[in-house]
């Protein structure tokens, strides 16, 4: 194609600012070619460069604990779990693609995060997700589109994971009108690798050949990175070509071929081709060790005719890798990929730095210093204006005592159990293959999912978590809460929290109020991670989650992984035996504030008040106590108190075992209104059950960890009974808890 003349006006259409365009001119000492302009525009987009976020992200604790590599050093985080094994895990967003093409947007989000894992040499053992949509049962707005997005995102996730052969074991789903136009689709993957089989995303050794492997390159996904760095609007529909198309069967072949190649010992470096395609992988691998590359696009396998250099460089076609092979070992790589019927084509060589040079049809189309393109190099870095949002004072100035007291708490609890944010998500996870590879031992629906590591006694607990409503009301406390709840979730299974990955979903960073939310959330995550000794392994920043009218709730999603040393010590969330003692441990004397609660929203249609208080010392102590209780094998269940408060927690503990629900009789002394006590969402609490003969050891462990213990009742019977206020037959509670979403989606 005849490349258009490069001007600043053209650069603006690519998302570059005037100062950035001038900087490109200075770097190159000339006007960039059209292809070079495209390269800089995608690599300097927020999605690739984190130019508006990196200075804040660097404040997070990114070392310590069991980390084997620092945050951002490789394609995914890597944490030691003993016995020469490590766990690789990461979470990323695919929000904008899913808003315009929900099936492929979600599917390729799963595919991309899986490649990040096996590019490290790790075999994926589990996938999770964190999803946000508008209301699916709103009486005020048409929910047709929201249901369409919800249905197809779930189908895209399920189809890709099921075909690839990885169990989708957990996640979370929230519904709120703030996400109506801009859904959030965050995908997480977890894998296992031996220490001596870890692959790195690097380019070393002058003269070493560079291969492109996997699928052929097409025109799908071009400028996907820049599309992810702008707000959703009516024009977004026209950007469907920016959404990649996935092929899970090819990805499965690519997995096996890549792992075999790594085990062969001939790999110097390997990187997934995700955002920005060949552009990103060549520049990042080169810049990491100060090298360069000569790339000839004539050799890139293309599935469409007459593709330009610009299109080949920016395509985000899926199921592709860039691999640097030891010189002289080319035949080893080709033989392995021929076996798996995949492309394995030499397209260039590693050169002495600093430039990545791109030729096509005998002409140099681009030649740019690799370091000027990448995060951590000379890509632009900005600090944006920050201003506390005016709405905070208004929403936090809230007097709950003025609320009318409900007459029937049975009705309130049934309503909460049926509300889409709390109700069991079986309609979703039953579309996923949760047991492929036969390692899943705790299925979706509890506090955290657990996957055994074959050949050992170990297992991994994993969870995604964030309550965007809390972060909206108090960005600092809300973000802390996401970390703490994730830690409580994995600890309830008996797992030691190891580290987190995060997906930071916010609005437009150029808006001072949004940037304030972002900075405060980072501060909250950092403080919680430092206290809990759960360093940040890496993750993703997703800005511009806005429609023309409003931004989504700030949603810093946390992905947590924990280690169970002995799977025989694992604990589940549900009551198991008739006559077991039920107790609250942790923050027993909690506040009765209902600010930010599901109860306040459902009963009164209000999002007001402050986010629940967080005491990091108490959170730390509770987590340690839960781990010790599990190790001592003295409890039969543990379930942390979160959305819906204590009453919902108790009902869920009765119901989570769908095939064998067990009722309970609970009596608790409290002061004030019963609804405020039963439905407030104070942190730092868990409900446990255990045999009476274990009460002494349970209380001792609680005392040793300086947390409170309160015996509140016993399991048994055919109803959920809480004081005089609640008495609901199990069958009625079960119907509300398990059938709500299916009924909504079928109507």
Closest Cα to residue 500, out of 480, 473, 475? 480
Which H helix or E strand runs over 364? strand 363-369
As a whole number of angstroms, the distance between CA 28 and CA 368 comes to 7
As a whole number of angstroms, the distance between CA 111 and CA 187 comes to 9
Kindly report the number of other CB atoms within 10 A of residue 80's CB atom: 16
Q: Three-state DSSP class for 95?
A: helix
Kindly report the number of other CB atoms within 10 A of residue 44's CB atom: 27
226 burial (CB, 10 Å; 0-12 / 13-18 / 19+) is buried
Kindly report the number of other CB atoms within 10 A of residue 148's CB atom: 11
Closest Cα to residue 289, out of 195, 198, 376? 376
Closest Cα to residue 687, out of 461, 469, 447? 447
Residue appearing with tokens 């049934």:
414
Q: How many helices (H) and strands (E) does the chain have?
A: 25, 25
Rounded to 10 degrees, what is the CA torsion of 528, 191, 94, 515? 20
Which H helix or E strand runs over 82? strand 77-82
Please report which residue ranges of 638-726 form alpha helices under DSSP H.
Answer: 645-655, 674-679, 695-704
Of the CA atoms within 13 Å of residue 108, those in its CB half-sphere come to 27
Torsion over CA: 221, 24, 545, 490 (sign):
positive
Give 3-state DSSP helix, strand, coil % of the chain, rounded to 5: 40, 25, 40
- Beginning with the edge strand found earlier in the chain, give each strand of the sheet holding 355-360 in spatial order: 267-272, 320-325, 209-214, 343-352, 291-296, 355-360, 363-369
Rounded to 10 degrees, what is the CA torsion of 645, 651, 657, 663? 150
The single residue of 47, 96, 223, 516 carrying the catalytic annotation is 47
Torsion over CA: 513, 514, 516, 520 (sign):
positive
Using H for helix, E for strand and C for coil, what is the string for 162-190? HHHCCCEEEEEEEECHHHCCCCEEEEEEE
Is residue 179 within 8 Å of 552, Cβ to Cβ? Answer: yes
Is residue 712 within 8 Å of 666, Cβ to Cβ? Answer: yes
> Please, which residues bridge with residue 409 across strands?
none
For 69, the token pair is 């590599």
Is residue 283 within 8 Å of 366, Cβ to Cβ? Answer: no
Which H helix or E strand runs over 55? helix 54-57
Residue appearing with tokens 């495209």:
38
Write phi, then psi, for 180 (nearest 5 degrees).
-60, -45
As a whole number of angstroms, the distance between CA 107 and CA 249 comes to 12
- Number of residues that this document lists for the chain: 747
The secondary structure of 118-132 as a DSSP string is HTTTPEEEEEEEEEE
Closest Cα to residue 50, out of 383, 395, 396? 383
The single residue of 94, 96, 516, 683 carrying the catalytic annotation is 94
Look up 639 and say whether it is catalytic: no
Look up 47 and say whether it is catalytic: yes
Residue appearing with tokens 């089989």:
197
As a whole number of angstroms, the distance between CA 536 and CA 526 comes to 8
Q: How far is residue 14 from each of residues 20, 68, 378, measured CA to CA in Å?
A: 11, 38, 19
Active site residues: 47, 94
């Amino acid at each position: 194609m005849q490349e258009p003349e490069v001007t600043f006006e053209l650069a603006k259409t690519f998302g570059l600012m005037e100062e950035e365009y001038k900087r490109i001119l200075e770097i190159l000492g000339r006007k960039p070619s059209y292809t070079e302009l495209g390269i800089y525009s995608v690599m300097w987009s927020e999605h690739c460069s984190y130019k508006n976020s990196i200075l804040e992200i660097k404040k997070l604790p990114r070392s310590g604990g069991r980390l084997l590599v620092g945050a951002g050093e490789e394609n995914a985080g890597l944490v030691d779990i003993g016995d020469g094994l490590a766990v690789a895990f990461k979470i990323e967003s695919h929000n904008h693609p899913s808003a315009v093409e929900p099936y492929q947007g979600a599917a390729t989000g799963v595919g991309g995060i899986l490649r990040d894992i096996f590019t490290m040499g790790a075999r994926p053992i589990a996938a999770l997700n964190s999803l946000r949509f508008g209301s699916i049962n709103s009486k005020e707005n048409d929910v047709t589109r929201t249901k369409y997005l919800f249905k197809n995102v779930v189908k895209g996730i399920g189809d890709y994971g099921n075909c690839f052969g990885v169990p989708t074991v957990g996640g979370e789903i929230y519904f709120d009108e703030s996400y109506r136009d801009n859904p959030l689709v965050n995908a997480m993957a977890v894998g296992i690798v031996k220490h001596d089989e870890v692959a790195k995303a690097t380019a070393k050794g002058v003269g070493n050949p560079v291969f492109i492997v996997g699928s052929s390159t097409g025109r799908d996904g071009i400028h996907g990175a820049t599309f992810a760095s702008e707000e959703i609007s009516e024009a977004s529909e026209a950007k469907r070509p920016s959404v990649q198309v996935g092929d899970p069967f090819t990805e499965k072949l690519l997995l096996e071929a890549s792992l075999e190649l790594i085990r062969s010992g001939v790999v110097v470096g390997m990187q997934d081709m995700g955002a920005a395609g060949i552009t990103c992988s060549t520049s990042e691998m080169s810049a990491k060790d100060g090298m360069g590359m000569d790339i000839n696009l004539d050799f890139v396998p293309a599935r469409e005719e007459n593709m330009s250099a610009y299109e080949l460089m920016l395509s985000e076609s899926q199921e592709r890798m860039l691999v640097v092979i030891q010189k002289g070992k080319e035949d080893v790589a080709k033989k392995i990929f021929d076996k798996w019927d995949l492309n394995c084509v030499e397209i260039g060589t590693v050169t002495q730095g600093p430039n990545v040079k791109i030729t096509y049809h005998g002409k140099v189309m681009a030649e740019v210093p690799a370091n000027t393109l990448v995060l951590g190099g000379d890509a632009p870095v900005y600090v944006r204006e920050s201003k506390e949002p005016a709405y905070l004072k208004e929403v936090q100035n809230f007097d709950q005592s003025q609320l009318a007291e409900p007459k029937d708490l049975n009705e309130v609890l049934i309503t909460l159990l049926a509300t889409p944010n709390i109700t069991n998500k079986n309609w979703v996870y039953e579309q996923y293959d949760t047991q492929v590879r036969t390692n899943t031992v705790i299925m979706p629906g509890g506090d955290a999912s657990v996957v055994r590591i074959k050949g050992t006694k170990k297992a991994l607990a994993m969870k995604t978590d964030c309550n965007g409503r809390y972060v909206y009301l108090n960005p600092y406390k809300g973000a802390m809460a996401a970390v703490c709840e994730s830690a409580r979730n994995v600890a309830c299974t008996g797992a030691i929290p190891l580290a987190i990955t995060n997906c930071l979903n916010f609005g437009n960073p150029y808006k001072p109020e949004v940037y304030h939310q972002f900075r405060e959330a980072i501060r909250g995550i950092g403080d919680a991670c430092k206290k809990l000794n759960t360093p940040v392994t890496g993750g993703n920043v997703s800005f511009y989650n806005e429609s023309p009218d409003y931004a989504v709730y700030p949603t810093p999603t946390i992905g947590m992984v924990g280690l169970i040393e002995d799977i025989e010590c694992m604990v589940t969330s549900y009551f198991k035996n008739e006559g077991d003692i039920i107790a609250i441990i942790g923050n027993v004397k909690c506040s009765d504030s209902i600010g930010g609660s599901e109860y306040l929203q459902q009963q009164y249609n209000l999002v007001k008040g402050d986010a629940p208080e967080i005491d990091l010392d108490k959170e730390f102590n509770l987590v340690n106590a839960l781990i010790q209780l599990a190790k001592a094998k003295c409890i039969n269940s543990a379930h942390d108190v979160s959305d819906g408060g204590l009453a919902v927690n108790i009902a869920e503990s009765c119901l989570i075992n769908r095939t064998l629900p067990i009722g309970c009789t609970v009596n608790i002394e409290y002061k004030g209104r019963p609804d405020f006590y039963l439905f407030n969402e104070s942190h730092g609490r868990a409900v446990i059950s255990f045999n009476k003969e274990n009460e002494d050891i349970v209380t001792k462990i609680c005392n040793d960890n300086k947390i409170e213990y309160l015996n509140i009742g016993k399991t048994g019977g055919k109803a959920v009974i809480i004081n005089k206020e609640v008495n609901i037959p199990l069958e009625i509670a079960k119907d509300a808890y398990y059938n709500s979403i299916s009924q909504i989606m079928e109507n």
